[in-house]
Structure formats: C-alpha cells, structure tokens
Structure 1
C-alpha cells in the first residue's frame, strides 16, 4: 500500500461476499486485517472513505505548510495560516497514525514490517535530502551527517520509536495521562538538542491517544450533521485568532518551537514551569482544532478519496521539490513577496500535492517509496 498512515476499514466491505483484505500499509508498517481496536470490536475489513479523506486533507496541509514556511517572515497573512495549520495538522497526523497502529500492541509479528517499510525508505530519502544540501545549497559533504534526519524525515524516525513503544501502553491504567506527563517533563531533558527526539517526546500523547481511544469516541465526531458544521465554524474562527496571535500585539507572540515541537524549553528561553505551560497550551489547542478538523472532514467518497491512499508518495517527495526551489533561490524574486505571488505559490503547492498522489508518479517512484525490503528479514515462524 502507499499510505503514510495505515488503511482504515469499512463495515460495508466486511460483509461483501469474497471481500479481499487490504495489503500491507505504509508507514509505515503493515497492519493486517482483523485488527481489534482497544476497547472495541474486531475491525471490519476494507477501506473507510472518511479516513482516506482525512489523510488527503492532512497531507495537503503538510505540503502547504512547507511552502508557506518560506514566506512566514515576509507576510502576516502567510504567518497566520502557517500558525493555524501548525497548531493541529501534525498532532492529528500522529493521532491517526496511532489509531491505525493498534496491531503493534498485540502482535510481535507486526514489528517485522518496520524495517522494510520505514527504515529502508528513510535511508533512501534522507540521503537524497542530504545530497540536496551539498549539490544545490553548497554545503560541505560530511559523512557523519549523511543519515541524520533531514527536514521532514524526522517523522519516520519518530514513528519507529512510537510503534516500538506500543506494547507498553496496554499495561498502563491511564496511558494518555502518563504520555502527557512524559511530554511535559521531557521538554526540560538534555536530549532536546536533537529535534527528532524532541518531537517524538512532545507529540507522544497524540500517538498514545490514537492508540488507546475507544472507537465510538472517534465515530461520534463523524456522527450527526451538526458536528461537521460545528467543526468548520471552529476552524474558521481560529484563523483570525491566529492572525492576531502571531502579531504579538495583544497576546504573547507565538514561539515557533512550540508549534513545531522541535525545541526544548531551555532552547526557547523558558524555564521549566513556563515551558510546561506553553506545551500544555499547545496540547490543548491541538486537541480542540484537531477535533474540529476531524468533524469537518467529509464522510463519503469523493474525487480525492483515492488520492488519500498515496500519502507516502506525497510526503516523501514534495520536500525534495520544496528544498530544490528554496535552495535554488526560486522564491527570492520580488513577485513572490506580493499577495499575488503568495496565492500563486499556494496554488502551485496544491497542484504539486495532487500530482504526487497520482498513479503515474506512484509507478515511477515505487522503487524508492515502497522498496522491496522484505529480503532483509529472516523467514517468519509461519514460513512467510
């Protein structure tokens, strides 16, 4: 499969005669059919259009966010939408990843999928991102930096760490509370000099929440029609608030490290108490906006639903385009400092996200995004 987040399942396909189970999912990692969510019944087979829609809109926000990041210092409008998007989109991504990683809590066999579906693509693309720095940005080549997470590759490393920890959370009485405590405390630990570990610790509560939440609580967000309107209203109202917030004239200006989850309290100039307060606020904002987003996403199949099954391709490859344009000075022209330039970049980012989710791109780049890495594993006990 081609998902950045494992595939959902739908009741309709479970009852269909001769229904075939979906194949292994990216990333990462495989999620066999019959996964039993914590506190719920056995998951039915097939794909759920709602979650494919969720993944489509999330990956488009990821692409837009990385393009808007280039302009955030030059435009209050760009900084506002950037602040708004980064307030919830990665926490929701992590939550959905946890929601479809429940098989890792019970089946040791699941861990076999981590290496071929997460580690091998990480090596391939991280080398590509590092080589961009050398050949386009003019950085010196340093062998010891070759496999250090570059740009968006942190997520694959964090996902490996989160999934390896999955069995632990089944034994705790209050797993989300423990994960929140670890997230708050970890902001003051010395490993925060590494942005990947900092993000893995900071965003851990969202993964654990997705891993352990009852299915009926998620279903409630996609229930009555009023929830969709309520979610949309919350998101619309959050935009002007983000605009005022990032100005720093009424509320304290948003510290970028709080939004990105990539810096410890000391590195942001906070003491432990201040840092915990900001991180707790970020957790709360992400939960509110995340719930609003999940409620606002359309439920049924649409033209973009199938594109939501190829999020791995969009995620890994769009960054190569963003960094090529950025390192090459493409955005330095005066045109891109104007409102029309920003609108043009936004339209181009959307077009890029759609293009990278198409079947032709999948066929051309399958060797790198979904490499045949199973040969690296010993045969399983079942002989497969």
Structure 2
C-alpha cells in the first residue's frame, strides 16, 4: 500500500507500567474467587505480565541503534512494538474498570500519575540538555518527552473510565475514535493526543474484561494456538521488516504525516489494531500465573520503566553503542542481556527506596485529604495508582 514504505526513524519509547494493584481495593469492589487470584491480595499473573513486558521494552530500546544493520533485529523490534504497549494498556484498563472518580480516586490519580509525570518531564528535559549539549532545551510539560507520555495518557484514560460504563457499545465507539484520530492530521503533539486516542481501544477493552476472560486464555487449545500465531507473526515481521515503516507502530502520527492517504490510513489503523489485539492475547496466554522470582519486581515496573530511559539515552550519549563488535550476533545477545539485567535492577528495593519520592510522591503539600465518613481514611486504601 502506498505510504507504508519503510522509513528509518526510530523511537526509544516504551510503556509505563505504573504502580501496584490489589484485589480491586482501589475501587472497593470484590472480585470473584478463581484461579486468577492469590491469597496475598495481589494477582501474581499481572505482576508477571508487567515484568516480562517491561523486559521486552528495555530490550527493544537496546536494539534501536542496530535496526538498520540487522533485518532479524528489526523484525523482532517490530514484533515487540506491535503488542507491548497494548499489553500495558489492556491491563491498565482492567484495573480501571470500576473507577468512579470519587475524591480519593482523583487524589490518587493526581499523586500517582500527574505529579510523577511533571517531575520526570523536568528531569528528562535537563538530562537532554546534558546529553545533547543543548543548555537551551526547554521544559515543555504540554509535549511529553520520551517515556513520560504514557503517564499522561493513563491519567486521561482513567478520567474517561466512568464514561465507558454508560456507552452502549464502548469498544466499537473507541475503535471509531482511534481510526478517526489516525487520519486527522490536525491533531498536533500537544498532550500526545494521537497516541492517547489511537491506543484508546485497548484501554476500553481492558475495562470490559473480567477474570474469566483471562482464565480462558489458559486453555490448552488457546495456548497452542498462541504459539502458532506467534510463529506466523514472527515470519510476517521478518518479511515486512525492510518494507514497513515502523513509525506506524508508535501511533504518534497521522496517516497523512506518514505519507499515506486517508483510505490507506483507515485500513492500516484497523489492521494494526487487529494484529495488536491478537498478539496481546498470545502474550497473556503464556504469562505464568504462579508466583515466580520476578513477581515482586513486577509490582514495581514503573520504576524500571521511567528510569531505564536515562540509561538508554546516556549510553547513546556516551558512545557505548559504537563498537563494531556489538553489531555481531554475539554482541546483540550481550546487548539484550544487558538491557534485561539493567531494567531488572531498576525495579529492586534499593533503587525504589532511593527514587520513591519522585515515582510515588507524597502529595499532602499539594492535595487535601479526600477522606469522608462514607469512604473512610485515605490511608486505608493502597497508595499506588496503577494496573
């Protein structure tokens, strides 16, 4: 199709994985008993999913300097970018489905998403001044930088959560909004609204899911089908790698900005939504449900997500990607392992204790305590705002 020719632009942007989650404690609802839930009050399944997806995000960012050199690396990059963001958006929507914008929920949205967004916007702007040797680089909180955009997107999606409960057919409506956004070039970079709207269907899908839906993914036939689909998708990604402009996978531009017609943009948006949904299901079908050594790390993926951007950009600024041997197969294995280990380390307790004031700030200096006799004290609710 015209306009889908591959371009060389890359983007080291991943997906946020904000906060922890308890058994619907943030909304006061009580989930049904079933294999999805553990006695600890947290779902190991979702923590496992977030950690594994975060590792893929970090690895994809580590591969970016080599996309033009290795077709296999480019294919893996495209494959990961097809589903890693939808995974996090679906999970975020699932844990947002009962949000009613009560005062304590609004308090948590501001403290858990908006404040960290503002803090890291300032940090990344100053970091970019250092990395690019540009002391005049501005702080612009209206135009999200690098990894921060998902915090703002999740803030906006969660504000919209009550609306989707009163819409008769929320998922088709959300798909329609996403497709229209993808062919509306007038939507500029402010608030990253292109991505907010183009990824909206996955958030709405998450609000419609129930524990039984995730349980069905564990069926033997579904898991077997997931392997076959993933294998076919890998082959398709390898074929498409030199032909497809992977900027389509970022969902930050309109079709016209990518050189496509409106008709092509509509078709591409629907195709990408379908492919992403299928691969998201394949990924979730194979996520372990038992507690693993990395389950605890999955509860703190927001730390790894926000902080690994400094490592990625810092490594590029320092020229660490330049040695030619890193472009060999053995070098790529090393780059992948280093990315996985680094992002894992950033989720560990020592790092979390060090940067908690920025990632999980206390907001008493800014926000009033929203406690009421009906809702109980704020301290009775979990502090974290996330999937």
**Aligned twin of 2:319:** 329
**Aligned twin of 1:345:** 335
Aligned length: 354
Which string of whole-angstrom CA distances, capped at 9 and with x for unpartnered residues, describes residues 5-38 of structure 1? 54253xxxxxxxxxxx97xxxxxxxx2443669x
8 Å CA contact 2:125–2:139 kept in 1: the answer is: no
Match of 1:116 among 111, 114, 121: 111
Which TM-score applies when normalising by structure 2? 0.85
Distance of 2:126 and 2:27 partners within structure 1: 36
8 Å CA contact 2:72–2:238 kept in 1: the answer is: yes
User: Is 1:7 matched with 2:25?
Assistant: no
User: Is 1:184 matched with 2:179?
Assistant: yes
Which TM-score applies when normalising by structure 1? 0.86
**Aligned twin of 1:13:** none
8 Å CA contact 1:130–1:146 kept in 2: the answer is: no
8 Å CA contact 1:8–1:52 kept in 2: the answer is: no
Distance of 2:235 and 2:318 partners within structure 1: 33
**Aligned twin of 2:5:** none
Match of 2:214 among 209, 215, 218: 218
Which string of whole-angstrom CA distances, capped at 9 and with x for unpartnered residues, describes residues 343-376 of structure 1? 1110100111211111111112212211112331
Q: Secondary structure at the match of 1:193?
A: coil
Distance of 1:65 and 1:3 partners within structure 2: 16
User: Is 1:265 matched with 2:255?
Assistant: yes
Q: RMSD of aligned C-alpha atoms? A: 2.4
User: Is 1:125 matched with 2:125?
Assistant: no
User: Is 1:89 matched with 2:84?
Assistant: yes
User: Is 1:278 matched with 2:258?
Assistant: no
User: Is 1:163 matched with 2:153?
Assistant: no
Structure 1 or 2: more helix by fraction: 1
Which string of whole-angstrom CA distances, capped at 9 and with x for unpartnered residues, describes residues 53-87 of structure 1? 11111111111121122221221111010001001
What is the deviation of 1:332?
1.9
Distance of 1:191 and 1:5 partners within structure 2: 33
**Aligned twin of 2:68:** 73
How is 1:304-315 mapped onto 2 (pairs within 5 angstroms)? 304-315=294-305
Match of 2:201 among 202, 205, 211: 205
8 Å CA contact 1:81–1:239 kept in 2: the answer is: yes
CA 214–47 in structure 1, closer or farther in 2 if over 3 Å, else same = closer
Which string of whole-angstrom CA distances, capped at 9 and with x for unpartnered residues, describes residues 162-220 of structure 1? 11111111111100000000000111224433172111010000000101234322321
Match of 1:290 among 258, 280, 296: 280
**Aligned twin of 1:15:** none
Match of 1:47 among 42, 49, 54: 42
Listed as ranges, the gaps of 5+ residues in structure 1 are: 10-20, 23-30, 248-252
Question: Which structure exhibits the higher relative contact order, with contacts defined as CA atoms closer than 8 Å and separated by 6 or more residues?
Answer: 2
Q: Secondary structure at the match of 2:148?
A: helix
Q: Secondary structure at the match of 1:74?
A: coil
CA 147–177 in structure 1, closer or farther in 2 if over 3 Å, else same = closer
Once superposed, which parts of structure 1, at least 4 consecutive aligned residues long, lie more than 4 Å away? Answer: 42-45
Match of 2:146 among 139, 142, 151: 151
CA 370–135 in structure 1, closer or farther in 2 if over 3 Å, else same = same
CA 117–374 in structure 1, closer or farther in 2 if over 3 Å, else same = farther
Q: Secondary structure at the match of 1:87?
A: helix
**Aligned twin of 2:8:** none
Q: Secondary structure at the match of 2:370?
A: coil
Distance of 1:377 and 1:270 partners within structure 2: 46
User: Is 1:320 matched with 2:310?
Assistant: yes
CA 193–146 in structure 1, closer or farther in 2 if over 3 Å, else same = closer
Distance of 1:285 and 1:128 partners within structure 2: 35
Higher mean Cα deviation, 201-210 or 69-78? 69-78
